[in-house]
Amino acid sequence: MATIQTIVQFFLDLGASVFLPVIIFILALIFGAKPGKSIRAALMVGVGFVGINLVLGLLVNNMGPAAKAMVERSGVELSIIDVGWPASAAIAFGSNLAALVIPAGILLNLVLLFTRVTKTINIDIWNFWHFAFAGALVQAVTGNIWYGLISAMIFAATMLFFADWTAPAVQQLMGMPGISLPHGASTSMVPFAVIVNKIIDLIPGLNKMEADPEAIKKRFGVLGEPVFIGVIIGLAIAALGYAGSGPFATWFPRVLQSAISMGAVMVLMPRMVALLMEGLIPLSEAAREFLQKRAGGREIYLGLDSAIAIGHPASIATSLLMVPVVLVLAVILPGNRVLPFGDLATIPFMVCMMIPVVRGNVVRATITSTIIMIPTLYIMNALAAAQTTVARSASFNFPEGASTITSMVDGGNFLAGIFVWAANNFWIGNAIILAVLVIAWTLYKKNSATWERVAGYRED
Amino acid sequence: MMKGKKRILVACGTAIATSTVVARKIEEELTKRGIDVVITQCKAAEVPSKVDGQDLVVTTTFVSGTGNVPVIHTVSFLTGIGMEQDIEKIVEYLK
């Protein structure tokens, strides 16, 4: 027994860039991928990991000191850096929980499918990282990997429910029959969108308002380009931090260099994740075939990445409007210490599942997003310490004492927040969460037509 | 006679997750058929600025502003259902 523990510890100590490829290789083989392909894929995962670590270093080394200087001079206390979802995905995949979440998630899905609880097969294995991420936070808080796994599985089940519930509306909006979107970050927004949408229906004047998404896209289009977000915010932070301290020839180049470095982070980070992603493709394809083969002939929805819903004009327009809104909220909300940055380019993932509910109405989607952003910022503040702990244990090294990190879309996700909060009293907390899920799911099954209409589906 | 490589623009929500899957799959299938292509990945919102000079746009989400370039909107490369037909369509467009 002691030997096994020594061996396991040896592998964990190798760090995620070595440990994860081994796990990915084994999982890919189990699901029936070819060995040659699996090895190449596993190595790409390791490479992606190293790449993300490099870019994260660039971000923290530049943004950290600039943000610190800004805090000291302006008194705007925004010292927790939003490193964006790519880093969070790497952190989640680098946690030892991820190796459990993938097989357990597939098993849970099959059980719920065969017991006819859900119609969705989530073939989007890549996005299991959202569940692993929330679970890893629970693990960091409780020190218990099984607690983390249980939270991750309740999260995964909740997304299957929301995916079933929204499937008719999503299929109608996308014009794609047979799909659903059980995406941890996007689909968890659905209940808020439903509630806010109902309230807007009752407000005279507001319930008639609409805006033209194409016009907004044209006017604000540049705001959505990651390189501009990076350079502009880098410039602003560095200018607030360094401008006027010492001779012009010292601070001015420093400000410009910071701005370009931040632009580089925004452009390079997704490129690194694409490598990680490339390495996961054989595993996710093998898992997809494994699941589809076992699904049988009945009506099922194939659960895909919500990225396919992001291109809707209303989704893009709302996300562009939200960039300045989030920055203003970060400055004016009392007690907030988070500096939104990396995930400003990821806002579409928070917005895209609201679009079917509000039926493409930009005004409603913007109001819903603005409201949800307030708890999101406070949850980020609350979870940042846990996220930083997980990042360190996934062997992401940033300078000692330099920074606390977070990421908006997942580090501020309300379900992640609920799971971490419930972890204080794990069994009671999770029993309550599970009871709410079962009751809601049962009510939906009894009266699915009404529920689906509320989520934006129209029979005509 | 030398022919220029055909160019395909693959667009999705982030230019990371789904478009990487689609791009790799198209590359793999076309290479099998002996067709050499240059594939560029981009975000849906970037399509109008990147569509110039492309022979085909393949997207998993909504795109606009593609001008005269043909567009294939499909999730078959993600689901595996109908993928063969889509590959045939792509080959047809590239001829």
- Transcribe A357-382 into DSSP letters: HTTT-HHHHHHHHHHHHHHHHHHHHH
Q: What is the pLDDT of residue A12?
A: 61
Question: Is there a contact between A278 and B79 if contact means CB atoms under 8 Å apart?
Answer: no
Is B26 within the bounds of a domain?
yes
Share of residues in chain B with pLDDT > 90 (%): 27
Distance (Å, whole) CA A324 – CA B64: 24
Facing A313 at nearest CB: one of B16, B59, B62: B62
Give the Å distances, CA to CA, from A439 to A157, A277, A442.
13, 36, 5
Lowest mean pLDDT among A88-102, A119-133, A280-294: A280-294
Mean pLDDT of A200-220: 84
| Whether the predicted pLDDT of A387 surpasses 50 | yes
> Residue A447 is part of which domain span?
64-268+287-454
Q: What is the pLDDT of residue A314?
A: 87
| Whether the predicted pLDDT of B45 surpasses 80 | no
Nearest CA in chain B to A271: B16
Mean pLDDT of A214-241: 80
Question: Is there a contact between A308 and B46 if contact means CB atoms under 8 Å apart?
Answer: no
| Whether the predicted pLDDT of A219 surpasses 60 | yes
Mean pLDDT of B55-72: 88
Is A33 within the bounds of a domain?
no
Is A54 within the bounds of a domain?
no
Nearest CA in chain B to A346: B14
Q: For residue range A247-301, list pLDDT tens digits in order.
A: 888 899 989 998 999 888 888 877 887 888 788 788 778 877 777 777 666 778 8
Is A305 within the bounds of a domain?
yes
Distance (Å, whole) CA A87 – CA A315: 23
Is A86 within the bounds of a domain?
yes
> Across chain A, what does the average pLDDT equal?
87
Lowest mean pLDDT among A67-76, A251-260, A385-394: A67-76
- Tokens standing for residue A329: 């909220």
Question: Is there a contact between B18 and A316 if contact means CB atoms under 8 Å apart?
Answer: no
Q: Which domain CATH number covers B34?
A: 3.40.50.2300
What domain count does chain A have?
1
Q: Give how far A218 is from chain B: nearest CA, Å.
A: 10
Whether ipTM > 0.85 holds is: no
Is A85 within the bounds of a domain?
yes
Is A25 within the bounds of a domain?
no
For residue B60, the chain A residues in CB contact (below 8 A) are 307-308
Is B1 within the bounds of a domain?
no
What pLDDT band is residue A81 in, cutting at 50, 70 and 90? confident
Q: What is the pLDDT of residue B1?
A: 37
What domain count does chain B have?
1
Q: What is the pLDDT of residue A368?
A: 96
The answer to whether the pTM exceeds 0.90 is no
Q: Give how far A228 is from chain B: nearest CA, Å.
A: 13
Question: Is there a contact between B20 and A278 if contact means CB atoms under 8 Å apart?
Answer: yes
The better pLDDT of the pair A207, A74 is held by A207
Q: What residues contact A40, with CB distance under 8 A and at least 6 apart?
A: none
Lowest mean pLDDT among A30-34, A128-132, A179-183, A449-453: A30-34
Winning range, highest mean pLDDT, from A98-102, A156-160, A303-307, A337-341: A156-160
Using the CB atoms, write b or e for A419-433: b if 16+ within 10 Å: bbebbeebeebbeeb
The better pLDDT of the pair A393, A128 is held by A128
Q: What is the pLDDT of residue A274?
A: 81
Q: Show which residues of B are catalytic.
A: 12
- Tokens standing for residue A124: 């989007």
- Containing A89, the helix (H) or strand (E) segment is helix A85-94
Facing A307 at nearest CB: one of B14, B46, B63: B14
For residue B61, the chain A residues in CB contact (below 8 A) are 307-312
What pLDDT band is residue A402 in, cutting at 50, 70 and 90? low
What pLDDT band is residue A4 in, cutting at 50, 70 and 90? low
| Whether the predicted pLDDT of A194 surpasses 80 | yes
List the A80-82 sheet strands across, edge first. Answer: A338-339, A80-82, A404-406
Distance (Å, whole) CA A251 – CA A280: 43
Question: Tokens 């240059």 — which residue?
Answer: B38
Backbone Cα Rg of chain A: 22
Question: Is there a contact between A311 and B41 if contact means CB atoms under 8 Å apart?
Answer: no
Mean pLDDT of A186-199: 95
Distance (Å, whole) CA A230 – CA A341: 8
| Whether the predicted pLDDT of B16 surpasses 80 | no
Facing A274 at nearest CB: one of B13, B20, B79: B20
> Residue B90 is part of which domain span?
6-94
Mean pLDDT of A58-86: 81
Question: Is there a contact between A179 and B17 if contact means CB atoms under 8 Å apart?
Answer: no
Burial class (CB in 10 A: 0-12, 13-18, 19+), A254: buried
Is B76 within the bounds of a domain?
yes
Is A362 within the bounds of a domain?
yes
Q: For residue range A321-352, list pLDDT tens digits in order.
A: 898 899 999 989 999 999 898 888 889 899 99
Question: Is there a contact between B64 and A306 if contact means CB atoms under 8 Å apart?
Answer: no
The better pLDDT of the pair B59, A212 is held by B59
Distance (Å, whole) CA A453 – CA B3: 53
For residue B63, the chain A residues in CB contact (below 8 A) are 311
What helix, strand, coil percent values describe chain A, rounded to 5?
A: 75, 5, 20
Question: Tokens 């005004």 — which residue?
Answer: A363
- Tokens standing for residue A37: 């392909």
Q: For residue range A347-383, list pLDDT tens digits in order.
A: 989 999 999 999 989 999 999 999 999 999 999 999 9
Q: What is the pLDDT of residue B38?
A: 92
Is A112 within the bounds of a domain?
yes
Q: For residue range A5-49, list pLDDT tens digits in order.
A: 677 667 666 766 777 788 788 888 887 888 988 898 889 888 888
Q: What is the pLDDT of residue B2?
A: 42
Facing B17 at nearest CB: one of A178, A307, A311: A307
| Whether the predicted pLDDT of A241 surpasses 90 | no
Nearest CA in chain B to A305: B18
Q: What is the pLDDT of residue A161?
A: 97
